[in-house]
Structure 1
Amino acid sequence: MTIEDKSYKEKKVISIGIVSELTGLSVRQIRYYEERKLISPQRSTRGTRKYSFSDVEKLMEIANKREDGVQTAEILKDMRRREQALKGDNQLRNKMLEGQLNAHFKYRNR
């Protein structure tokens, strides 16, 4: 995935009505998932919710888990665990890159 791909997927430009059509979820269900902190739409200056393509994907994942009987509290815990793991992976990757750059340029931290 390129930086450009990520940026378009993260832009909050889709209205709740379109998200409802794309996901098959009712507007009420989408708002409920927002209340449960499973999704975080952006608000326009007029207060309307705006979602990204990543949000749509996340809502589809939530809907699939709910169909399998998973409670929203469990889904939230799982999402937080994955975010923490990703954060740890990114920190490790950054340390490794820093080490490679330091080795390449023969930098020593004193």
Structure 2
Amino acid sequence: MSSYKDKKVITIGVVSELTGLSERQIRYYEERKLIFPDRSKGGTRKFSFTDVERLVDIANKMEDGLQTFEIRKMEQKKLRQEELRERMLRGQLNAAFNLRK
């Protein structure tokens, strides 16, 4: 079951109010592949609370002088590290309990 924070239910206008970012900035971050909102049948962007937190983090990094490609690279590195950590943990559990895939 996914967390309420991951449900894509918030419109871009509300996200703009919550983050202080303009709708244009939010769309730009989507274009730069930093966030991935869902779309309703009518084409309206739908964001999650996790997306809102991510947008605030992106805005802070941009204020610190980072470029969007640098932020994307950092995020990709973080995901790779999390995947590696998960594989290592799975391997340790398999070894400890003599489990096979």
TM-score by length of 1: 0.85
Question: 1:47-106, CA deviations, whole angstroms, 9 ceiling, x for partnerless residues?
Answer: 11111111111100000011111111101100100011111111111112222232xxxx
- The reply on whether 1:38 has 2:50 as its aligned counterpart is no
Q: 1:71 aligns with which of 53, 67, 70?
A: 67
Aligned to 1:100: 96
Q: Aligned partner of 2:89: which letter?
A: R
SS in 2 for 1:89: helix
Q: Trace 1:1-110 onto structure 2 (pairs within 5 A).
A: 7-102=3-98
Q: How many residues align?
A: 100
Q: Aligned partner of 1:45: which letter?
A: K
Percent of pairs with identical residues: 56
Work out which of the two has the higher radius of gyration on C-alpha atoms and give 1 or 2: 1
Question: Which stretches of structure 1, 4 residues or more, deviate above 6 A after TM superposition?
Answer: none
